[in-house]
Amino acid sequence: MELPTKVLIGQGVLSKLGEFIEETSTRKKVVVAAGSNVTAKVRGAVDSALERPPVWVEVNAADLKNVENVIGSAVGSACIVGVGGGKSVDVGKLAAFRSKLPFYSVPTSASHDGISSPFASLKGLDRPYSVMAKPPVGILADIDVISSAPRRLLASGCGDLVSKLTAVKDWQLAHKKTGEYYGSYSASLALMSANVVLDGAKKLGGFGKGAVRDIVEALISTGVAAGIAGSSRPCSGSEHLFSHYLDIIAPESGLHGEKCGVGTIMMAKLQGADWKRVRSALKQVGAPIQDQTLERMTLRS
Interatomic CA distance for residues 238 and 248, integer angstroms:
15
Q: Whole-number minimum distance, CB 278 to Zn ion, in Å?
A: 15
Sole window of 13-21, 102-110, 158-166, 176-184 interacting with Zn ion (rule: CB under 5 A): 158-166
> What is the smallest separation between the CB atom of 188 and Zn ion, expressed in angstroms?
18
Instruction: Show the CA angle centred on residue 285, arms to residues 281 and 287, nearest 5°.
Output: 90
Cα within 13 Å of Cα(12), Cβ side: 0
Q: Which is nearer to Zn ion, 17 or 220 (CB)?
A: 220
Q: Which stretch binds Zn ion (CB under 5 A): 33-41, 60-68, 152-160, 166-174?
A: 152-160
Rounded to an integer, what distance in angstroms lies between the CA atom of residue 64 and that of residue 66? 5
Distance CA 299, CA 70 (A): 44
d(CA 115, CA 146): 12
Closer to Zn ion by Cβ: residue 78 or 224: 224
Examine residue 247 and tell whether it contacts Zn ion (CB under 5 A): no
In one letter, which amino acid is 64? L
Residue 23 or 214 with smaller CB distance to Zn ion: 214
Cα–Cα distance measured from residue 1 to residue 61, given in angstroms and rounded to the nearest whole number? 30
Q: In angstroms, rounded to a whole number, what is the distance separating the alpha carbons of residues 83 and 2? A: 21
Binding region for Zn ion (CB under 5 A) out of 122-130, 156-164, 179-187, 222-230: 156-164
Q: Quick check: helix, strand or coil at residue 94?
A: helix
Nearest residue to Zn ion by CB is 160
Nearer to Zn ion, 23 or 247 (CB): 247
Count of residues in contact with Zn ion, rule CB under 5 A: 1
Considering only the stretches 40-48, 79-87, 155-163, 283-291, report the one whose residues sit in contact with Zn ion under the rule CB under 5 A. Answer: 155-163
| Contact (Cβ atoms closer than 8 angstroms) between residue 65 and residue 91 | no
Q: C-beta of 68: minimal distance to Zn ion in Å?
A: 25
CB of 219 to Zn ion, least distance (A): 9
Residue placing its CB nearer to Zn ion in the complex, 78 or 155: 155
The rounded distance, in Å, linking the Cα atoms of 205 and 200 is: 9
Among 160, 214, 239, 247, binds Zn ion (CB under 5 A): 160
CB 158 within 8 A of CB 278: no
Least separation, in Å, of the C-beta of 92 and Zn ion?
18
Nearer to Zn ion, 17 or 226 (CB): 226
In the sheet that 77-84 helps form, which strands lie side by side, from edge to edge?
A: 6-10, 138-142, 103-107, 77-84, 29-34, 55-58
Rounded to a whole number of angstroms, the minimum distance from the CB of residue 112 to Zn ion is 5
Q: Which residues bind Zn ion (CB under 5 A)?
A: 160
